[in-house]
Chain A
């Protein structure tokens, strides 16, 4: 059962990279290679998602490619990234390190950035407004969804179904969204209003109460629309040989060789 939908784009510090700057770039994906942010570029420890972004940067839209020439480009670019910006590999790149200014640009799942306010310590207005999310305006980028599955040998299948039903309820799904940032595939939700309406979770501290829109107004790119799934590119399973090839390239990157 699909329960969250998200895109994979770029998370950035708005105090260092104004919204207009990144949106005005010819190829915003390439910001991950910009030496200006050396030492402050974060990527996920996820070979498929990071390599998908490298493919996007090269204008290759088959995120499951086994083409040697395509993968060679990915390899060259990944190794060039090490030399250019000395990237860090971190799970919390886009929901913690970006928010706390440890990173300036990151590979980012939309939900991570949307929920990131929770980790911005301390909760001040500046911290809250400090980070943004970019995804191609034509919506041609990596998109995906997460699933909940009930294993065949589950001990309490009935309870599991009940839980999924609960999860599918509009109100609970939206409450969860307001807390964890990953958008539920609710057709009832007005996607255009997500940046204007307030969710259940009130982002506040003793000193400052943040407005509690589902998605911050300056991050419209993070809202996922039903139509995006027809436009965007999706990762699928790779054949054993191709997957080995992908792993080999990723290993070279994580071994820190540089080009």
Chain B
């Protein structure tokens, strides 16, 4: 899927029929993708304008969240009790979200990468079964997964109390398949040549993995880390069922509670703050991704990262 193959229709366009724009358009509306372009930009507007407004509301001077009035930092820090900085509940929710995401990322990514390496080279009936279970965890609707983990902690593994530990255990279960799938796709495109060349040159299996294979996998690892982080910070279903004391409720759960009964523009400030932190993580991941794919013709573009989602 290298970009050099891509040729736009503009370079291959058949000779244009004469006449004005309208006539040409009527004759063949698909030649110049006016309609497609319009739909695409309309979609983007529809998808992004609500977000822009939500962000704007967080800088809103009024309490009303349905209209933007004056610019103010009231909901960020100037309000002494209800702002993001001063509301202890919001404060702890933001920290809890970040904590859960980092912990999930730290556990799920190594687990998933190791699994991907192993399952890629291990064949047989047992391997097929194990792989089936992993894929099953990938496609299982979250409400099923979240609730079953909730039930297991309530009835079978009772020594794990509902709260942060249970949330992290549940989240890792839900997330571990992302690194597996991303890393396996990357392994497929790398092939076995490098590693085997290293071993031909006398490296042990461990050395060849550490010195050759892992560096080649770094882009996939960073991409999956970013995806696990972003997806966990957004997670709501699993985390809500597994939350214990109020202090273990992350921002997503708070947003839900607020939306259902305690409206406050400070929640928009909190979400905007989280948006910022996710973008930072994604940007770091993207830069690392680029740095490690430098010199390779493929996979350096945003398009390639996008296909990982």
Chain A interface (Cβ < 8 Å from any Cβ of B): 90-92, 95-96, 119, 121-122
Contact = CB atoms under 8 A, between A and B. Distances in A.
Interface of B: 62-64, 260-263
B63 A91 contact: no
A119 B261 CA distance: 10
Contact of A91 (B62, B64, B261, B263): B261
Contacts of A91: 260-261
A13 to B, nearest CB: 19
B67 to A, nearest CB: 11
A43 to B, nearest CB: 14
A92 B260 contact: yes
9 contacts: A90-B261, A91-B260, A91-B261, A92-B260, A92-B261, A92-B262, A95-B261, A96-B263, A122-B62
Contacts of A95: 261
A154 to B, nearest CB: 13
A130 to B, nearest CB: 16
A90 B63 CA distance: 21
Contacts of B262: 92, 96
Contacts of A96: 261-263
A18 to B, nearest CB: 27
A96 B261 CA distance: 7
Nearest to A91: B261
A69 B243 CA distance: 41
Interface majority SS (helix, strand, loop, mixed), chain B: loop
A90 B62 contact: no
A195 B228 CA distance: 55
Contacts of A121: 63-64
Nearest to A92: B261
A96 B260 CA distance: 10
A92 B256 CA distance: 13
Contact of B64 (A90, A92, A122): A122
A41 to B, nearest CB: 18
A163 to B, nearest CB: 16
Interface centre among B62, B64, B261, B263 (most CB of A within 10 A): B261
Given A92-B260, A122-B64, 7 more contacts: A90-B260, A91-B260, A92-B262, A121-B63, A121-B64, A122-B62, A122-B63
B57 to A, nearest CB: 13
Nearest to B63: A121
Nearest to B65: A121
A196 B64 CA distance: 30
A35 to B, nearest CB: 27
A92 B260 CA distance: 7
B263 A119 contact: yes
Contacts of A122: 62-64
A98 B263 CA distance: 14
Contacts of B260: 90-92
A119 B262 CA distance: 8
Nearest to B263: A96
A254 to B, nearest CB: 15
A11 B185 CA distance: 59
Contacts of B261: 90-92, 95-96
Contacts of B64: 121-122
Nearest to B62: A122
Contacts of A119: 263
B172 to A, nearest CB: 28
Contacts of B263: 96, 119
A96 B262 CA distance: 8
A90 B260 CA distance: 7
A122 B263 CA distance: 13
A44 to B, nearest CB: 11
- The 5 A-B pairs at the shortest CB distance, nearest first, are namely A92-B261, A91-B261, A121-B63, A121-B64, A91-B260
A121 B243 CA distance: 31
A91 B260 CA distance: 7
A208 to B, nearest CB: 14
B276 to A, nearest CB: 27
A90 B259 CA distance: 11
B262 to A, nearest CB: 7
A122 B64 CA distance: 7
A248 to B, nearest CB: 22
A122 B262 CA distance: 15
Nearest to B257: A91
B60 to A, nearest CB: 12
Nearest to B260: A91
